[in-house]
Amino acid sequence: MPRYAALIYEPGDAARPPSAEEWEKVMAEYNEFTAKAGAAGVVGGGEALQPPSTATTVHVKGGARGGDVVTTDGPFAETKEVLGGFFLLDCKDLDEAMEWAAQIPGAWYGRVEVRPCIDFSETG
Amino acid sequence: MHRLLRNRLNLPLDEVVRREGGAVLATLIRMTGDFDVAEDALQDAAITALETWPTTGVPVRPGAWLTTVARRKVLDRIRRDSARPRKETEAVALLAEASPEETSPSAVDDNVLRLVFTCCHPALSPEARLALTLRTVCGLTTAEIAAVFLVPETTMAQRITRAKRKIAIARIPYRVPADHELSDRVDTVLAVVHALYTAGHHAPSGDVVVRCDLADEAIRLARVLVRLLPDEPESAGLLALLLATDARRAARVDAEGEIVLLRDQDRSLWDHGAIDEAAALVEAALRRRRPGRFQLQAAIACLHSLAAHWSDTDWPQIAQLYAVLEQAEPTPVVRVNRAIAEAEVNGPGAGLDILDGLQGLERWHLFWATRGDFLRRLGRRAEAGEAYRKALGCPCNEADRRFLHRRLTELG
């Protein structure tokens, strides 16, 4: 059975952040989808990401593993690059996550954006 | 915080608190894992200190005193605030384990290093690193930092808040990097301290050319880093660079506030003790055979500062050092400086050749001013005038502006 990656692109030019009502509506629609698709056995995994301001970009220079690692604040800026997919890395902190990110081939063919996921289980 | 305190008491106590602040904050962050909680607690403890020390006298170890009081305040607050029971128990347990080792000099040093490396983490933008270091390690207020970089206070506050948020949400760890990462991370830290010195040495805008307090703070931090990172020759390189540059401070601006170029400076005004210290530092560092950009820049600065007169300057060696530095740091700034050195050795035409090959510097006034100088010396006055006019179109401070206008006037 082939697996597909559903890559979610959000409109990045929103003039203002969503209101609590809008947010709740969107969340309800997502919950409706995951309930339905979950019941059908289709959902393999996925994550909602924290905003781009929390992102860090890793690039390995030289086109192969082991080159100089360049780290920059923020997501990868040039929009002609397409989001090709994501791994979920369970690491204790950003340093560990960045070390693994530099091992991913995407880091030397392009760039790997490392962004923390929202932990919905943490209240408060 | 600091403005409030300065109004109420004389400077020495306030300065004691500010200088201890970075180390205390570092320890508190280690204890609580939270920048904001730590800062609030430090602020409360500082206020208490300034209320009680005039009567009781300054404690023998003011840092330890502030840490103890701040920790108590954090505990009090957590006990009062019952919103998060799970986190509270963990935090209280951590904080309640008061041990004398926690405020021992080596533990404090370790925490200060953690704080510095965290503030200078490459995952933060360069502006954020500098702002956060100034705020937490140096204890400058947000308003003071905003004034240095000429942004509104709210912008600077947002920048700092975002940086702290990123540290928390992305889990930038509060640690000194492991050995295999250390040298790279040290370079990032040194770059921040150097940027701090540059901001103090040549204020980006406004009327004052030199902000002595920032330059002094950068040198103080550079000394701390040499002490805390004895195995990193680049930290000695940075300190040497700052000392050799700062030694010329008194001669850099004349009585009217006008810029005096290196060639015209009164060398008797230079701090030769600082120059000697810098030279000794860079020589010792280079002997370790791990050259880096700060050691190289320090060597160049020392060569300038050791020359008795402009005409005694060892330009061939400086030009060679710039050529090596360009390998380590192929930035436009280094290339322009190399062009200046080459011009001294091989004439302004050689300098102009180098400048002609550079791109991306159109918004830097010193690029155009250097170009103008070469053209002027070659007798190409019209082109020189064009270059100086372009320089005036770039961001620069008032003293720079007046200097450029003088050059234009001299051209006729």
Q: A20-67, pLDDT tens digit by residue?
A: 887 788 778 777 767 776 777 666 677 777 777 788 999 999 989 999
First to last CA, chain A: 40
Distances (CA, A) of B81 to B32, B34, B84, B85, B205: 15, 15, 8, 9, 45
- H or E stretch including B411? helix B398-411
Residue A70 bridge partners (DSSP) = A59
Q: How much is the pLDDT for B350?
A: 95
Contacts with B87 from chain A: Cβ below 8 Å: 124
B371-397 as b/e: b if 16+ CB within 10 A: bbbbbbebebeebbbebbebbbebebb
- A116 with B169: Cβ contact below 8 A: yes
Q: Which residue of A has its CA nearest to B127?
A: A73
The token duo for B215 is 């330059």
Q: Whole-angstrom Cα distance, residue B390 to residue B126? A: 28
- Which pLDDT value is given to residue B331? 85
User: Residue B9 has what pLDDT?
Assistant: 41
In sequence order, the β-bridge partners of residue A114 are A56
Residue position matching structure tokens 């005004």: B269
Distance CA B364, CA B401 (A): 13
Q: Which two tokens stand for residue A64?
A: 């192969």
Asked if B394 and B365 touch (Cβ cutoff 8 Å), the reply is yes
Asked if pLDDT for residue A70 goes beyond 70, the answer is yes
Ranges of residues in chain B whose predicted pLDDT is under 50: 1-11
By C-alpha distance, the chain A residue nearest B165 is A54
Mapping DSSP onto H, E and C, the string for B95-109 reads HHCCCHHHHCHHHHH
User: What does DSSP assign to residue A72?
Assistant: E
Least Cα separation, residue A69 to chain B (angstroms)? 10
Predicted pLDDT of residue B263:
86
The region, left, alpha or beta by phi > 0 then psi within -120 to 50, assigned to residue A70 is: beta
In a mutational test of the A interface, the residue from B166, B172, B174, B183 whose CB has the highest number of chain A CBs within 10 Å is B166
Min distance A53 CA to chain B CA atoms (Å): 8
Which distant-in-sequence residues (6+ apart) come within 8 Å of A9 by Cβ? A83
CA distance A68 to chain B (A): 10
Measure CA of the first residue to CA of the last residue in chain B; give whole Å.
52
Q: What phi and psi, each to the nearest 5 degrees, are found at residue A69? A: -95, 125
CA distance to B70, B194, B225, per residue, from B109 (Å): 18, 21, 10
What per-residue confidence (pLDDT) applies to B319? 95
> How many contacts, defined by CB atoms under 8 Å, are there between A and B?
45
B65-116 pLDDT tens trace? 999 999 999 888 877 776 655 555 555 655 655 566 667 777 878 888 889 9
What are B253's strand-pairing partners? B259
Task: Calculate ∠ Cα B183-B187-B188, nearest 5°.
Answer: 120
Neighbours of B41 (CB within 10 A): 27
Shortest CA gap A99–chain B (Å): 10
Q: What element of type H or E holds A73?
A: strand A69-73
Half-sphere exposure of B137 (CA within 13 A, CB side): 30
Contact flag B169-A98 (C-beta cutoff 8 Å):
no
| Alpha-carbon span B304 to B318, nearest angstrom | 8
Answer whether B172 sits within 8 Å of A93, measured CB to CB: yes
Q: How far apart (Å, rounded) are the C-alpha atoms in residues B321 and B341?
A: 10
Q: Which amino acid is at B49?
A: A
Rounded to two decimals, the ipTM of the complex is 0.71
Calpha distance B395→B389 (Å, rounded): 12
**CB pair distance less than 8 Å for B169 and A74:** no
Residue A31 structure tokens: 């919950």
Furthest-apart CA atoms within chain B: distance in Å: 78
Q: Which residues of B touch A (CB under 8 A)?
A: 83-84, 87, 122-125, 128, 162, 165-166, 169-173, 175, 177, 181
Per DSSP, A67 falls in state S
Cα(B284)–Cα(B297) distance, integer angstroms:
15
Could you identify the residue written with the tokens 């530099």?
A102
Pick from B125, B173, B177: CB nearest A73: B125
State whether A93 and B124 contact (CB < 8 Å). no
Residue type, B51: E
Which pLDDT value is given to residue A3? 46
Using CA atoms, how far apart are residues B285 and B294, in angstroms rounded to an integer? 10
Cα separation, A108 vs B300, in Å, equals 36
The average confidence (pLDDT) of chain A is 71
> Which of B171, B172, B192 is best to mutate for the A interface (most A CBs within 10 A)?
B171
For residues B193-204, b (16+ Cβ closer than 10 Å) or e, as one string? bbbbbbbbbbbe
**Cβ contact B166–A53 (<8 Å):** yes
Q: How crowded is the C-beta side of B378, counted as CA atoms within 13 Å? A: 21
Q: What tokens were used for B342?
A: 């080459």
CB of A90 within 8 Å of a chain B CB? The answer is: no
pLDDT value at residue B96: 58
Identify whether the C-beta of residue B169 lies closer than 8 Å to the C-beta of residue A50. Answer: yes
Task: List CB contacts of B288: < 8 A, sequence separation 6 or more.
Answer: B233
